[in-house]
Chains A and B, each alone.
Chain A
Amino acid sequence: MFLEIKDLSVKIENKNILKSLNLNINKGEVHAIMGPNGSGKSTLANVLAGKEDYEILNGKINFKDNDLFDLNIEERAQEGMFLAFQYPVEIPGVNITPFLHSAINSKRKRMNEDEIDNLSFAKLLKSRASDLGINIDMLKRSVNTGFSGGEKKRYEILQMSILNPDLAILDETDSGLDIDALKIVTDGVNKLKTKNNSFLIITHYQKLLDYIKPDYVHVMVNGSIVKSGGSEIAAEIEKDGFQKFQ
């Protein structure tokens, strides 16, 4: 099993958010989690990425034969986990290009691979940026600083494409995107899909799933997955809302 979440319960500031959650993802699969506001979707994404604000009450997570809780935030990233943030953080003064260069090399170091040199990295970055319709001038700017909502999401996908993760978690990547930006972002995701990597897509709406076809759709309500199935569930939610699952 690529990612196995077993009986996971999590709280923050005395509030139980995830309650005995189970989820299995195999290599090459695309899973979508849909759920109403406050159901715990982003908490799940943050717990997987290693955010330290949460208290793990119970459960286990295995990722690529590692106990995920034995790995800190950066080790998870270096092992191939990637979180595309719902609200990417603005970091003035940290230039995009050296930051991403350093990120890719920290992963290669862990994998005992040679570091990528400046020139090769610049070529790679330029070509991936052009695939995503990102202006080269944007790569001279500070991380997410002064970006529009759409630019931030596009830049998250650019990072994903450079870091080439084994498991990408997209936390409401569709929020704040107009239809053209949604198409560019989802095209970028589809180009990255291979039989060796997996995706966990968190969204409110079926719209995103029109562009990225999931193998499995899960409905999350009140901290637990209450129903799993195929794309037909997304259509059901689009028609009737989440009410009937609560």
Chain B
Amino acid sequence: MNIQDNYQKNKKNIFFSENNDVKSHREKLIDIFENDKFDKKNNESIKNINLKNFLDFKYRYLAPEETSLISNNNDNNYSIVSVNGQCSSFKDDKIEITKILEEDYNDFSENNTIEKNEHFVNLNSLFLNCGFKIVIKKNNNIKIKISNIVTDDDLTIFQKNNFICEEGSSLNLIEEYENKNNSTSNILNVIKLEKNSQLNHFLIQDNSPSHNLIVTSHSSCKKDSTYTQKVYNFSEGYVRNFHFSELIEINSEVDLQGIFFLKDNNTSNNKTFVKHLAENCKSNQVYKGILNDRSKATYFSNTHVDQVAQKTEGYQLSKGILLSDNASFFSKPELKIYADDVKCSHGSTIGPIDENAIFYLRSRGMSKIAATKILISSFINEELNSISDDQMAEIIQKKLVRYLSKVK
């Protein structure tokens, strides 16, 4: 079923359909879908994607019967099980969780720069059917683990979450996506960091081949705040990670890291867009992929330094190891610099595993397969060692061992 038919048929079940502003915005989006030629050549965000899966789908959403579990383990640690994109309301003196509200709808969709070319964000705005808002209150330091569960086959989850870190707060957020059913999750995270706040955001993605996962996030950082995103993608299904970041006040930082482990026919699309809009801000990006069989990956990155953003530091790096002649990784880091006092760099290296290193290790008695595995582990060693959370490190290590066990 096409986009318009899906929308007309299901709009009663879609969030905020009665709101006139939302309604008129969605009509505009439908126009875009109706008239867009989906020109893959000029719109990089849809390159390497089987659009049919996403534009011609059957809308189906089930509200969960049971509310999500929120537990506070009394030591500033919270666990949330979000079922089909929903989460119960919760409030204490440190955090507040509510359902997504009408007033939050425009937070991201108002940004025309992104919207024009981002069909997945448009789809999310059009079919929004779940989501929640989490506020970390001033000067609190907490950890939240969210397990994102999809309960049934053939569900189309269009979820929008807001994370707000109030002044002086610090949040370690671990999000797990481990879904085995034949469904699609299209998630938009809107993240706001107030003055002197910090958010370390870990995303562990490990879905089965039939589950599509599209995660778009948008962070805005005020004075002295830092947003760190580390994505570990072990999924066997399609995954798209897109992060859009705005450094809007001085001394703010964004640190993006994405590591993906691909095999079979799988595809991983990674895209970033970092806007430096104030002085003395830093952005750093490291994306690394290990690709086996006929897997494909892309990394499109754009760092934009506004003319007022003097003393900017902006770095982009992508690296890929191709374990098979049929695997491919397309990387395109871009810098657009309009200020004159900046330190920026970009680099990309993609190639097969170093045969000289394999020979060296084998000449000491190590088997070819053991040498290959040790070199894959060493390729991401720095990133793995940088995980300060023991629970996270253990989870990633186990998944890495599982991935390596299938490397022949």
Give the interface of A toward B (CB within 8 A): 49-52, 72-74, 76-78, 82-83, 85, 88-89, 91-94, 99-100, 102-104, 106-107, 110, 142-143, 159, 163
B-side interface residues toward A, CB under 8 Å? 354, 356-357, 359-368, 370, 374-375, 377-382
Does B366 contact A93, Cβ atoms closer than 8 Å?
Answer: no
Check if A92 sits within 8 Å of B378, measured CB to CB: yes
30 A-B pairs (CB sep. < 8 Å): A50-B363, A73-B359, A73-B362, A73-B368, A74-B362, A74-B363, A74-B365, A74-B366, A76-B363, A77-B362, A77-B363, A78-B365, A83-B363, A85-B360, A85-B363, A89-B354, A91-B375, A91-B378, A93-B380, A94-B361, A94-B375, A94-B378, A99-B364, A99-B366, A99-B374, A100-B364, A103-B364, A143-B360, A159-B364, A163-B365
Cα distance A110–B365 in the bound complex, in angstroms: 10
Chain B residue numbers with a CB within 8 Å of A100 are 364
Chain A residues near B367: list those with CB within 8 A.
74, 106
Residues of B near A72 (CB, < 8 A) are 362, 368
B365 touches A99 (CB 8 A): no
The answer on a CB contact under 8 Å between A74 and B360 is: no
Q: Identify the 4 closest CB pairs spanning chains A and B, nearest first.
A: A93-B378, A93-B381, A73-B362, A77-B365
B57 to chain A, nearest CB (A): 42
Determine the chain B residues whose CB is within 8 A of the CB of A104 once the complex forms: 365
**Nearest B residue to A109, CB-CB:** B365
CB distance from A106 to the nearest CB of B (A): 4
Known contacts A89-B356, A91-B357, A93-B381; A49 and B375 CB within 8 A of each other: no
Distance (Å) between the CB of A120 and the closest chain B CB? 18
| Contact across chains for A91 and B365 when beta carbons are under 8 A apart | no
Q: How far is the CB of B354 from chain A (nearest CB, A)?
A: 8
Partner of B368, one of A74, A78, A85, A94: A74
- A92 contact set on B, CB distance < 8 A: 378, 381
Pick from A49, A94, A110, A143: contact of B363, CB under 8 Å: A49
Q: What residues on B are CB-neighbors of A51 within 8 Å?
A: 359
Contact B366 A103 (CB under 8 A): yes
Q: Are B381 and A99 in contact (CB under 8 A)?
A: no
Instruction: Give CA–CA (A88, B378) in the complex, Å.
Output: 17
- Distance of A143 Cα from B360 Cα, bound (Å): 10
Is there contact, CB below 8 Å, between A99 and B361?
yes
How many Å lie between the Cα of A93 and that of B376 in the bound state?
A: 10
**A104 vs B368: C-alpha distance when bound (angstroms):** 16
Please name 18 further chain A to chain B contacts, defined as beta carbons within 8 Å, in addition to the given A72-B362, A89-B356, sorted by A numbering.
A51-B359, A73-B368, A74-B368, A77-B363, A82-B363, A83-B363, A85-B363, A91-B361, A92-B378, A93-B380, A93-B382, A100-B364, A102-B370, A103-B365, A104-B365, A106-B370, A107-B365, A163-B364
Residue numbers in A under 8 Å from B363 (CB-CB)? 49-50, 73-74, 76-77, 82-83, 85
Residues of B contacting A52 with CB < 8 Å?
359
Q: Across the interface, which residues of B come within 8 angstroms of A89, CB to CB?
A: 354, 356-357, 359-360
Provide the bound-state CA to CA distance between A88 and B361, in Å.
Answer: 11
CA A51 to CA B361, docked complex, whole Å: 12
Q: How far is the CB of A95 from chain B (nearest CB, A)?
A: 9
Q: Which of A50, A93, A163 contacts B377 (CB 8 A)?
A: A93
Contact present for A142 and B360 (CB under 8 Å): no
Most buried by B among A85, A94, A163: A94
Tell me the smallest distance from the CB of A76 to a CB of chain B, in Å.
8
Chain B residue nearest to A80 (CB atoms) is B365
Query: Are B379 and A93 in contact, CB atoms less than 8 angstroms apart?
Result: yes
Assembled-state Cα–Cα distance A74/B364 (Å) = 7
In the complex the two chains form, is A142's CB within 8 Å of B364's CB?
A: no
Residues from chain A with a CB closer than 8 A to the CB of B375 are 91, 94
CB-CB under 8 A from A102, the residues of chain B are 366, 370
CA distance A104 to B360 in the complex (A): 14
Q: Complex formed: what's the CA distance from A124 to B374 in Å?
A: 23
A110–B367 Cα distance when bound, in Å, is 12
Nearest CB of chain A from residue B393's CB, rounded to whole Å: 16
Contact A94 B374 (CB under 8 A): yes
Residue from B359, B367, B377 having most chain A Cβ neighbours under 10 A: B359
Nearest-neighbor residue (CB-CB) of A145 within chain B: B378
- Of B354, B356, B365, B370, which is in contact with the most chain A CB atoms at under 10 Å from its CB? B365
Residue of B nearest to A75 (CB): B365
The answer for the CA separation of A92 and B319 in the assembled complex, in Å, is 14
